[in-house]
Amino acid sequence: MFALSKSIYAFEKESFYYEVVIPLLKSKGFEGSYVPKCFLCDPYIIVLEDLSLLSYKSTSKNESLDLKHCKKCLETLAKFHVEPILYELKKIEELGKNYSFNYEFRDILEDKVFSQEENGATKFMRCSIEGLFSINRINTPKWY
């Protein structure tokens, strides 16, 4: 799993998010309240705020979320995805020309999972998808 994480630059992307993206968003007035505070980003070590001190808790692996918590998760995911888009719109307005977050930071944000380049991540994804299709074929009733 470590090799897979390295092949898609998982640590570097997470570190980039806490050290670059969140400060950029906050500099433009976005709250970023959905992100725990980051205290340390070193190679392969990230120390984040202990959210249990703010009354957050994990559910059991076998326990499903209720509707209220599913809605809260979706609201948080929406903020996570929309704030960089709104940041781009503010930058376009400021600069008076096109601006793309993905283009400015293309080296770190390049998608390594769904890429043409064969690597550990693409192999993992391909095998996972093939496995799901196999399970589907086995569990699909044959209608005559």
Per-residue pLDDT of the chain (144 residues), as tens digits, is: 777 788 788 899 999 999 999 999 999 999 888 899 999 998 789 999 999 999 988 888 888 889 999 999 999 999 999 999 999 999 999 999 999 989 999 989 888 777 788 877 788 888 889 999 888 887 776 665
- Cα 94 to Cα 2: distance, rounded to the nearest angstrom: 41
Residues near 28 by Cβ (< 8 Å), separated by ≥ 6? 87, 90
